[in-house]
């Protein structure tokens, strides 16, 4: 393994660990909410209240950060021009915070009208609750902007641990405030979770400040519109801003459809979506974040062969990791949901309601994971229009599929539409990136995919047979479901490992090498 690849694997491994801890806390948060409030109008209101704050964040920060700020700032670092890089960073931070502050004030004033537009099917009391929660959560984007931009700066220096720790502390704050302020008899007390979100965003930023000072942070109270770096970030950010804004509109469309189905359908969609995003967040995003600065550096230095190899390795690794997870989640979705949510006010019927969309989401896990990698290759090339254009095409496919499928499949149709759009986006990204870079190591990627699929199907068969044998014997209560889930996961992992070894998969050897290295250090 080359030194660059070894560094990437180590960084990705650390981020995976941090993401795993954060996601575990995230599901503890959702589990507590299910216990306190079940799946109904109050949780639908809480879910809907994130739409406007998320829209503001992705409109001004998320796209700028991933597609424009990191590549430009990283180039200054790679070329040894840090002073100019910090001036550009200061201008961008000041501009974003000023604009975000103004839009937050507008959002506070027009929150009731926005909520009525997005979720017209909510009952009056739940619509009022959604408005109240939206106003609380509008404080979050300001702190998330600071946290995200700080993360972008540190990632440019290939420092990842502060932002990873911040995500863990974020969820810990949500759990703490949501729990101490919870009152199941009063649905309005769900606002405690919203307070925790705001405090968590602040803590996530604060924990990164020492590392920011350590790399020699320099801040200037300027907004220099004429600086070439600022103008470059602006030019790169425009298509991403359009893309993320349209994505949030798509989220609003999902909520609009869901609000007109049965009470709790928005929550069922969200919680199954969170399970769908679990492997994406732990593995794919961790690999993408760890790989992105290297891709940016390789593109800046015109090291095209190394860039192609970096992209190929990242794609093959996420396919190897996520395909078996997808298969396992399909087979074990019922015990998984029972263990996570079925207690307190969350009943057996809610489990079936959540498991149905999860089936359709799980089909698209690998595609959703790969499209965390491929757009970043374009961003490293400072091409933001191509992935945005393809993303818009995929979004149109998503909306059309939702319209066609929500009737026969209800909330499952919304989930299936998301998976279909992910596959369309992945195929288009592969095609356009191959045109841009030439050979993309396509045979290696295809061969890894076929081998992983074969091993995953074998694994799924083993898990299914074990689950069908064990469940009638021990039942479906909490301890029984936990037993089925844990034993099925362990048995499935063993079956997959055996098949991967038989098929002589290089990714399996690489994963085992990483594990052995970590064990050897202890």
Predicted pLDDT of residue 457? 96
443 pLDDT tier (thresholds 50, 70, 90):
confident
Predicted pLDDT of residue 189? 94
pLDDT beyond 50 at 518: no
Predicted pLDDT of residue 7? 54
> Is residue 433 helix, strand or coil?
helix
Predicted pLDDT of residue 522? 46
Q: Which residue has the higher pLDDT, 453 or 10?
A: 453
Q: How many CB atoms sit inside 10 A of residue 108's CB? A: 13
455 pLDDT tier (thresholds 50, 70, 90):
very high
Distance between alpha carbon 109 and the CA centroid of its chain, in Å?
30
Q: Tell me how far apart the alpha carbons of residues 176 and 155 are, in angstroms, rounded to a whole number.
A: 29
Residues 6+ apart with CB under 8 A from 486: none
pTM confidence score: 0.73
Q: Which residue has the tokens 């979050």?
A: 140
Predicted pLDDT of residue 13? 62
DSSP-derived secondary structure for 185-222: T-GGGGHHHHHHHHHHHHHHHHTTHHHHHHTT------
Positive or negative, the Cα torsion across 445, 426, 14, 152? positive
pLDDT beyond 50 at 342: yes
Residues 6+ apart with CB under 8 A from 134: 48, 49, 51, 52, 53, 107, 111, 114, 115
Predicted pLDDT of residue 41? 85
Q: Which range (460-469, 471-480, 488-497) has the least confidence?
A: 471-480
Q: Tell me how far apart the alpha carbons of residues 313 and 308 are, in angstroms, rounded to a whole number.
A: 9
Tens of pLDDT, residues 378-434: 988 888 789 888 988 998 999 999 999 988 998 999 999 999 999 999 999 999 999
Predicted pLDDT of residue 380? 87
130 pLDDT tier (thresholds 50, 70, 90):
very high
pLDDT beyond 60 at 2: no
Predicted pLDDT of residue 519? 44
Specify the long-range contacts of residues 10-17, CB closer than 8 Å, at least 24 apart. 11/158, 11/160, 11/290, 12/286, 12/287, 12/290, 12/291, 12/317, 13/514, 13/518, 14/160, 14/161, 14/164, 15/160, 15/164, 15/285, 15/286, 15/287, 15/289, 15/290, 16/282, 16/283, 16/286, 16/287
CA-closest candidate to residue 72, choices 159, 161, 152 = 152
pLDDT beyond 90 at 364: yes
Q: Under a CB-based contact definition with an 8 Å cutoff, are residues 459 and 491 in contact?
A: no
Tokens of residue 129, six digits: 């609750």
Tens of pLDDT, residues 66-82: 567 777 887 787 777 87
> CA separation (Å) from 111 to 8, 52, 107, 136, 200?
43, 8, 6, 11, 22
- With 0-12 / 13-18 / 19 or more C-beta atoms within 10 angstroms meaning exposed / middle / buried, residue 291 is buried
**What average pLDDT does the segment 154-167 reach?**
80
Q: Which residue has the tokens 């424009």?
A: 68
| Domains in the chain: boundaries | 33-37+40-239
**What average pLDDT does the segment 285-294 reach?**
82
Tens of pLDDT, residues 161-194: 788 888 889 999 999 999 999 998 898 999 999 9
Q: Which residue has the higher pLDDT, 217 or 350?
A: 350
Predicted pLDDT of residue 491? 96
3-state secondary structure 373-422: CHHHHHHHCCCCHHHHHHHHHHHHHHHHHHHHHHHHHCHHHHHHHHHHHH
Q: Tell me how far apart the alpha carbons of residues 215 and 208 are, in angstroms, rounded to a whole number.
A: 11
**What average pLDDT does the segment 35-51 reach?**
89
Q: Which residue has the higher pLDDT, 258 or 126?
A: 126
**What average pLDDT does the segment 324-352 reach?**
91
> CA separation (Å) from 226 to 87, 176, 231?
12, 45, 7
Q: Tell me how far apart the alpha carbons of residues 511 and 508 are, in angstroms, rounded to a whole number.
A: 5
Q: Tell me how far apart the alpha carbons of residues 520 and 522 are, in angstroms, rounded to a whole number.
A: 5
14 pLDDT tier (thresholds 50, 70, 90):
low
Predicted pLDDT of residue 11? 60
Q: Which range (86-95, 171-180, 461-470) has the least confidence?
A: 86-95
């Amino acid at each position: 393994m080359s030194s660059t690849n070894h560094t990437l694997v180590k960084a990705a491994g650390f981020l995976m660990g941090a993401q795993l801890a954060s996601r575990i806390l995230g599901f503890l948060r959702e589990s507590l909410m299910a216990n306190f409030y079940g799946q109904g109008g109050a949780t639908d209101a809480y879910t809907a209240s994130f739409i406007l704050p998320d829209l503001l964040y992705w409109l001004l920060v998320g796209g700028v950060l991933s597609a424009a700020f990191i590549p430009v700032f990283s180039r200054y670092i790679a070329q040894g021009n840090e002073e100019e890089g910090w001036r550009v960073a200061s201008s961008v931070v000041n501009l974003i915070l000023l604009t975000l502050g103004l839009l937050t004030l507008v959002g506070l004033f027009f929150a009731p009208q926005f909520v009525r537009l997005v979720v017209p099917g909510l009952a009056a009391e739940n619509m009022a609750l959604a408005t109240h929660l939206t106003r609380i959560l509008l404080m979050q984007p300001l702190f998330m902007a600071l946290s995200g931009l700080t993360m972008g700066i540190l990632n440019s220096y290939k420092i990842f641990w502060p932002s990873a720790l911040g995500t863990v502390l974020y969820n810990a704050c949500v759990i703490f405030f949501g729990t101490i302020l919870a009152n199941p008899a009063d649905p309005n007390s769900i606002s405690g979770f919203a307070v925790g979100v705001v405090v968590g965003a602040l803590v996530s930023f604060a924990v990164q400040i020492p590392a920011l000072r350590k790399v020699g942070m320099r801040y200037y109270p300027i907004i220099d519109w004429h600086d070439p770096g600022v103008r470059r970030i602006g030019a790169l950010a425009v298509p991403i801003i359009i893309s993320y804004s349209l994505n949030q509109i798509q989220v609003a469309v999902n909520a609009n459809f869901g609000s007109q189905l049965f009470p709790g359908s928005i929550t069922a969609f969200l919680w199954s979506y969170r399970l769908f995003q679990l492997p994406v967040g732990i593995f794919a995003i961790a690999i993408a974040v760890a790989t992105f600065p290297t891709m940016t550096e390789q593109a800046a230095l015109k090291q095209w062969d190394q860039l192609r190899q970096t992209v190929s390795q990242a794609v093959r690794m996420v396919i190897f990791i996520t395909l078996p997870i997808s298969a396992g989640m399909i087979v074990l979705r019922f015990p998984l949901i029972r263990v996570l949510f079925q207690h307190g006010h969350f009943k057996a019927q809610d489990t079936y309601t959540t498991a149905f969309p999860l089936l359709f989401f799980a089909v698209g896990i690998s595609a959703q994971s790969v499209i965390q990698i491929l757009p970043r290759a374009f961003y490293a090339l400072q091409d933001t229009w191509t992935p945005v254009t393809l993303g818009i095409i995929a979004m149109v496919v998503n909306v059309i599929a939702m319209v066609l499928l929500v009737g026969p499949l209800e909330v499952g149709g919304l989930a299936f539409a998301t998976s279909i759009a992910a596959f369309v986006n992945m195929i288009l990204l592969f095609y356009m990136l191959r045109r841009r870079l030439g050979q993309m190591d396509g045979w290696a990627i295809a061969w890894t995919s076929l081998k992983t699929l074969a091993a995953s199907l074998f694994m799924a068969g083993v898990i299914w047979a074990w689950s069908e044998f064990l469940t009638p014997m021990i039942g479906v209560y909490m301890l029984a479901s936990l037993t089925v889930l844990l034993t099925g996961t362990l048995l499935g992992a063993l079956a997959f490992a055996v098949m991967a070894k038989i098929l002589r998969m290089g990714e399996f050897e690489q994963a085992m090498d990483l594990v052995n290295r970590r064990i050897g250090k202890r």
